Structure 1
Amino acid sequence: MLPESFRAWFARRGWQAHAHQLAMLRAAKAGRSALLIAPTGGGKTLAGFLPSLVELADGGYDGLHTLYVSPLKALAVDIHRNLEVPVAEMVLPIRIETRTGDTPQSKRLRQRSKPPQMLLTTPESLALLLSYSDAPEIFAGLKCVVLDELHAMAGTKRGDLLALGLARLSRLAPGCRRVGLSATVAHRDPLLAYLSAEGRADAGDADLVSGGEAAKPEVKILLPRGRMPWSGHMAVFALPEVYEAVKAAKTAIVFVNTRAQAEIVFQELWRLNDDNLPIGLHHGSLAVEQRRKVEAAMARGALRAVVATSSLDLGIDWAAVDLVVQVGAPKGVSRLLQRIGRANHRLDTPSRALLVPANRFEVLECKAALDGIRAMELDGDPPRPGGLDVLAQHIVGTACAGPFQADALYAEVRRAAPYAGLDRQTFDDVLEFCATGGYALRSYDRYRRLIGDSKGGWRLSHPSHLRRYRMNVGTIVEAVTLKVRLNRGPVLGEVEEYFVMGLEPGDTFLFAGRLLRFDGLRETIVQASPATGDAPKIPAYAGG
């Protein structure tokens, strides 16, 4: 099943291919799509990419062969780093690149004219690529789409956008197979539907592959030695015990639930850090350079701990991590299992985690989460039908790529799992809304995005709609943000505008793990400098 060069590589590393990895090879050889459900540390990512690596090993393939879609930019970067290892060690003629909102414009342009054999991206960047007129040329030779952490996207608006993109890819590259990867799945059939070219779990064109079970995680609740408050959610009172746990571990990830909490927890751990342990901070509002620096340091094993939000929830593979600390209630069994899986990223070694309730009521939540883990009762509702707002966005994106026929687009949309039950009248109503703005907005020219003809064809009414679509693509709702610059030096990241409006020159605030003084606002840049003192303000974010 495995070529000799791959068998030799496995042997040099002291590995033996898992049964589910070989099953994924067989499915790919038969041209079948497949959903792999395997525990953390079971070689799930390698199983998803192994058929593509084998197919590309002989060289000579020009153009995009495999598209990987991740819910997190950090995960795409981590997968890129991990894939470079077998490619380099086996000297495979494969070019692998990432494409996210952090990718420079020059690189994005080059990827369209000369795409790599493997491109790692996000749902939003995929939607952007599909909106270009040269999308048929970019994706014409596509053979495989790998959807990582599929359970995290199914049933969300991002998942709806992804499903519509997959339906479009099936038209541009009819022979393309789909691979879904997931470790925690409460509802399997909806995920199989995502992988079906017909958008239905019972279509019979997607296989289910199981990777067995992992060692049971070791999870404990960390209660403080002193008094626990009745309210509050920062858990600062418990951080001395958290610091002691970090000291006793090789490497720890301290998960929190919001970016404001990340700043406070990091600052307090740093204050307690008499041992000068290298501790990092990671959340989505930090500058990309700082996030990549922390990710690279963790991959090298150079940090003892990192305080993180959901920006590091999924799939990140750092072998040195042997402890996960969840500060605050975990807000769900499935989410907690995802986070716990970052520790001891191996199939035969139990993940080790501590739950740190922030108040007395959260003790009950933590106990309920422990009961759910022991019973392996995953929470979460089945995915709902696709959102019509996402469909409207997709229709405009389709028009950005070129004129389309309504009948053909309706048939295509019905092959996206969340829209398999969409009736024609509803589709036509959404199409009409895109064309006129609906009864409330039809008087405004800017909302008349499409023009139709007598034969059922549609096109953009003005090029300005193309620019507006590409500047606003996606379903992640974000408030207006302003960049924070340290003196005349680097940009540290972004805070939301409403927070800055409440600052006066001289006020102090915590950001990027630093205590900063607000010096003023210059155009759209927050000017800040290092500060000292107590009672700084903490930026809060609409998204948590």
Structure 2
Amino acid sequence: MAEQWFKQSDWQPYDFQVNTWDAIGKGYSGLLNAPTGFGKTYAIWFGVLQQYYKKQKPGIHCLWITPLRALSKEIYMATERVSDGLGLSYTIGLRSGDTSLKERTQQKKKMPNGLITTPESVHLLLAAKGYNDTFKNLQFVIIDEWHELMGTKRGVQIELALSRLKAINPELKIWGISATIGNLEEAEEVLLGGYGGKRTMIRTNLKKRIEIETIIPEVIEKYPWGGHLGIKLMEEVLPIIHKSNSTLLFTNTRSQCEIWYQRLLEREPDLAGAMALHHSALSDETRLWVENALHEGILKAVVCTSSLDLGVDFRPVDTVIQIGSPKGVARFMQRAGRSGHQPGAISKIYFLPTHSLEIIEGSALRHAVTHSEIEQRVPYIRSFDVLIQYLVTLAVSDGFRANETYEEVIKTHCFNSVTREEFNWCLLFITDGGSMLEAYDEFHKVVIENGLYVVTSKRVAMRHRLGIGTIVSDAMIQVTYVGGGRIGSIEEWFISRLSPGDSFWFTGKNLELIRIKDMTAYVKRSAGNKGAFPSWQGGRMPLSSQLSSTIRMKLDEYGKKKTDIEISSLSQLFEEQKMRSHLPHNDELLIEKIKTRDGYHVFFYPFEGRNVHEGMASLFAYRISQIKPMTFSIAMNDYGFELLSDQEIPVEEALGNALFDSSNISADIYASVNISEMAKRKFRDIATIAGLVFNGYPGKAVKTRHVQANSQLFFGVFTDFDPNNLLLQQAYDEVMTFQMEQVRMMQALQRMETQHVIIKDLEKFSPFCFPILTERFREKFTNEKFEDRVKKMLEQLDRA
């Protein structure tokens, strides 16, 4: 079958594809790792098809799970091409949030042989009556883009779903598909769990050729030392767009995406109609149109975010531009792979730095890609919020028995350390609301009938189905034209700042707000050309550990014989840094001190990413304050952080008192950082996933401030009266693991203990500390444009 298809397509299968077909035929589960664009889908799909035609059974034979609806459609088209080309009877269906009620009803009557779906839709199927019959003939579960799902709670959802499906059919085969990830062995272990059976990992030695070019300003000394938009290099971007058939311009945030799209249109109006934007806040119709237009080669350029990161095959795209630091090597490679998305093709990607020092990242990225230095993904463990949601899901459908479900759950990587006492706590939580909420009937969701845990309330069942999922965001306001036509969605907090008559830019259009009613903002097109750009919460990703270490290495290369174009181009900035301060080598840690009218500044440069620097700055402030009581202001970026006080900061004495000591880090972090406040914010998401708070019905969402108030109320009650509450403990654990990055901070401190400390007293701010200063000023409220304030600061520095 596979040979016939490849022959008539005039293709030659790769060895890894043949090996995958062979492994599937021999009854293995496993993980397939190969570069983007080499045919991983067909490597799995033909193995699945060949097993189906050996022993055909009705119903779902293969469940193909993808992280994105757009990717689901891509897989659907690829598998349909095979069925059509070979005239197969194997039926394929799609099921996601976009699937119509009519199509779902038809699927319920007769399921397709292959169902392509998302993690949330799988759990919705598990919440349906009779799901055992639905999945009784299931032979394969394929997890696409596993490197994206692992390290998220959606990945935990998949682990739990697999535990149930594996119990229904112990012969079930599980295969993951992964491109870029640094801990493949662990990824396989997390996916396949403790189920036993034959398993294998198939890796190819094929390399995706990625050509990386940094867009370097003609005059480095005139390029800003701080910033995050990169608009000043627009003139260098336009020729790249024009000489390419089609270009994707990746930005890191949706607001940056909107701004770049608008600025490009202002500079070059002829791009109207040939350029589009794409991000997750746009309506499904808009995004679908853009994706189809890319497929058909209609568009010259698309300004986008991570919404186009994954798997979607746009063969007309031959160029990618990454605007600003991608913050990680894997993300950069993933985006590069959107161009040249076919075997043997070269992926061409340009890196556009948004400020001078960021130029070094172009060199660091090229080194990391060349040497395959890819980030690891840290898997979630003991996610009790997801477990509680899952237990209610099972109770909503056919119910579950505690002993059987516990034995299934502890075979997953996430929950293999959960004790029976902890599992019983979860059971008590869903039946009685736990020890603190037993007086409130609202939290008595599940009842026990003859040892079977079931949901009998239709209201509880409906509300639970609406809340299935682990992606939590602020309440979204739908943006709709007064005359009809949905445009997209914007977070409630942004729209709430506007008054009727105010204008804002969205989807590249200037819109005037008319009114807000029932979580919908009604707008009309505005004739003006001024307005606010929407911003969304989140979006500030920290620099990864791999990219951080490579940047330190590249700094160390300056002045040596073998330096690349990026390092050479920064010679004037580096010489300025050396003249005003010091340029640190890999075995050195630079600390800068300066006194201004604002107070006493101390700058540290660990080059460890924003998250680590936030925790480290608070830790150092706490330890220094043990020597001398004082108050600090803190600012940080991915390269370093600043402590600012109205008193002189005793840095030398702190260094003598083991400032970098990592032995007592947990206790000092708890003492130095307002962990309780951070955990309170984290608890809001946990409470939503666990079903403690309800976000509302479609079209009638609960306002964000009400959700926050409800979750904070629970947080306070549990803190005061139920400190051993597993959801409360989880909030603190997630803060330490994912927000504070405790393990990475400890490793950084251990490295810093071995480095030679260079302390420099400055007369003027250095090129290294200036971007950190701009971060502190960015947080202050003002009606003055950030760019204007930075320009004013630079002029003041030049005069000095």
Give distance in 2, aligned partners of 1:415 and 1:376.
Answer: 32
Q: Does 1:206 align with 2:202?
A: no
Q: Does 1:65 align with 2:61?
A: yes
For structure 2, list consecutive stretches of 5 or more residues without a partner in the other structure: 540-800
Larger Rg: 2
CA 1:263–1:58: 2 relative to 1, 3 Å: farther
Q: Which amino acid aligns with 1:206?
A: R
Q: Is the 8 A contact 1:284 1:311 kept in 2?
A: yes
Give distance in 2, aligned partners of 1:407 and 1:74.
Answer: 39
Q: Is the 8 A contact 1:157 1:386 kept in 2?
A: no
385-394 or 207-216: which moved more?
207-216
438-447 or 301-310: which moved more?
438-447
Where in structure 2 are the equivalents of 1:500-519 lying within 5 Å? Answer: 500-519=495-514
Tell me what 1:312 maps to.
308
1:390 to 382, 386, 390: 386
* Partner-residue secondary structure (3-state), 1:418: coil
2:374 to 371, 374, 378: 378
Give distance in 2, aligned partners of 1:180 and 1:319.
Answer: 24
Where in structure 2 are the equivalents of 1:448-459 lying within 5 Å? Answer: 448-452=444-448, 456-459=451-454
Give distance in 2, aligned partners of 1:537 and 1:25.
Answer: 54
1:301 to 291, 297, 306: 297
Deviations 1:19-75 (A, max 9, x none): 111112112212211211011121111112112233456996532111111111111
Q: Is the 8 A contact 1:262 1:308 kept in 2?
A: yes
* Partner-residue secondary structure (3-state), 2:480: strand
Q: Is the 8 A contact 1:192 1:206 kept in 2?
A: no
Q: Does 1:426 align with 2:418?
A: no
Give distance in 2, aligned partners of 1:137 and 1:69.
Answer: 19
* Partner-residue secondary structure (3-state), 2:338: coil
Tell me what 2:338 maps to.
342
Tell me what 1:217 maps to.
210
2:33 to 37, 51, 65: 37
* Partner-residue secondary structure (3-state), 1:184: coil
C-alpha displacement of 1:115: 1.3
CA 1:481–1:195: 2 relative to 1, 3 Å: closer
Q: Is the 8 A contact 2:283 2:486 kept in 1?
A: yes
Tell me what 2:434 maps to.
438
Q: Does 1:162 align with 2:158?
A: yes
CA 1:160–1:195: 2 relative to 1, 3 Å: closer
Q: Is the 8 A contact 2:181 2:375 kept in 1?
A: no
Q: Is the 8 A contact 1:59 1:94 kept in 2?
A: no
225-234 or 337-346: which moved more?
225-234
Give distance in 1, aligned partners of 2:496 and 2:117.
Answer: 35
2:181 to 185, 190, 193: 185
Q: Does 1:493 align with 2:467?
A: no
CA 1:232–1:102: 2 relative to 1, 3 Å: farther
111-120 or 157-166: which moved more?
111-120
C-alpha displacement of 1:275: 4.1
Q: Is the 8 A contact 1:147 1:181 kept in 2?
A: yes
Q: Please give the TM-score of this superposition, normalised by the length of structure 1.
A: 0.93
Q: Is the 8 A contact 2:445 2:460 kept in 1?
A: yes
* Partner-residue secondary structure (3-state), 2:414: helix
* Partner-residue secondary structure (3-state), 2:236: helix
Q: Is the 8 A contact 1:160 1:418 kept in 2?
A: yes
Q: Which amino acid aligns with 2:286?
A: Q
Tell me what 2:49 maps to.
53
CA 1:245–1:133: 2 relative to 1, 3 Å: same
Give distance in 1, aligned partners of 2:78 and 2:262.
Answer: 31
Q: Is the 8 A contact 2:213 2:349 kept in 1?
A: yes
359-368 or 509-518: which moved more?
359-368
Q: Is the 8 A contact 1:450 1:460 kept in 2?
A: yes
Q: Which amino acid aligns with 1:210?
A: R
Deviations 1:242-289 (A, max 9, x none): 222111112111111111111111222222334436112111111111
Tell me what 1:146 maps to.
142
Tell me what 1:24 maps to.
20
- Please state which structure has a larger fraction of its residues in helix: 2
Q: Does 1:248 align with 2:204?
A: no
Q: Does 1:79 align with 2:72?
A: no
Give distance in 2, aligned partners of 1:446 and 1:362.
Answer: 52
Q: Which amino acid aligns with 1:269?
A: L
217-226 or 332-341: which moved more?
217-226
Q: Is the 8 A contact 2:66 2:145 kept in 1?
A: yes
Give distance in 1, aligned partners of 2:226 and 2:215.
Answer: 17
Q: Is the 8 A contact 1:399 1:458 kept in 2?
A: yes
Q: Is the 8 A contact 2:510 2:529 kept in 1?
A: no
Tell me what 2:325 maps to.
329
Q: Does 1:539 align with 2:534?
A: yes
C-alpha displacement of 1:186: 1.0
CA 1:56–1:488: 2 relative to 1, 3 Å: farther
Tell me what 1:466 maps to.
461
133-142 or 423-432: which moved more?
423-432
C-alpha displacement of 1:204: 5.5
Tell me what 2:126 maps to.
130
Tell me what 2:786 maps to.
none
C-alpha displacement of 1:172: 2.2
For structure 1, list consecutive stretches of 5 or more residues without a partner in the other structure: none
Q: Is the 8 A contact 1:57 1:92 kept in 2?
A: no
Tell me what 2:733 maps to.
none
C-alpha displacement of 1:161: 0.9
Q: Which amino acid aligns with 2:44?
A: G
Q: Does 1:266 align with 2:261?
A: yes
Where in structure 2 are the equivalents of 1:397-416 lying within 5 Å? Answer: 397-416=393-412
Q: Is the 8 A contact 1:243 1:272 kept in 2?
A: no
Tell me what 1:363 maps to.
359
Q: Which amino acid aligns with 2:214?
A: I
Q: Which amino acid aligns with 1:22?
A: V
Q: Is the 8 A contact 1:334 1:379 kept in 2?
A: yes
CA 1:380–1:210: 2 relative to 1, 3 Å: closer
Tell me what 1:353 maps to.
349
CA 1:58–1:431: 2 relative to 1, 3 Å: closer
Q: Is the 8 A contact 2:215 2:353 kept in 1?
A: yes
Tell me what 2:231 maps to.
236
Give distance in 2, aligned partners of 1:528 and 1:319.
Answer: 36
494-503 or 273-282: which moved more?
273-282
C-alpha displacement of 1:299: 1.3
Give distance in 1, aligned partners of 2:481 and 2:345.
Answer: 43
468-477 or 107-116: which moved more?
107-116
Q: Which amino acid aligns with 2:159?
A: A
Count of aligned pairs? 536
Give the fraction of aligned pairs with identical amino acids, expressed as a percent.
33
Larger relative contact order, structure 1 or 2 (CA cutoff 8 Å, min sep 6): 1
* Partner-residue secondary structure (3-state), 2:522: strand
Give distance in 2, aligned partners of 1:543 and 1:68.
Answer: 30
C-alpha displacement of 1:456: 4.6
Deviations 1:313-364 (A, max 9, x none): 1111111211111111101111111111111113323211011122234334
* Partner-residue secondary structure (3-state), 1:220: strand
Give distance in 2, aligned partners of 1:143 and 1:403.
Answer: 23
* Partner-residue secondary structure (3-state), 2:364: helix
26-35 or 461-470: which moved more?
461-470
Q: Is the 8 A contact 1:197 1:205 kept in 2?
A: no
Q: Is the 8 A contact 1:281 1:512 kept in 2?
A: yes
* Partner-residue secondary structure (3-state), 2:499: coil
CA 1:35–1:58: 2 relative to 1, 3 Å: closer
CA 1:443–1:367: 2 relative to 1, 3 Å: farther
Q: Which amino acid aligns with 2:268?
A: N
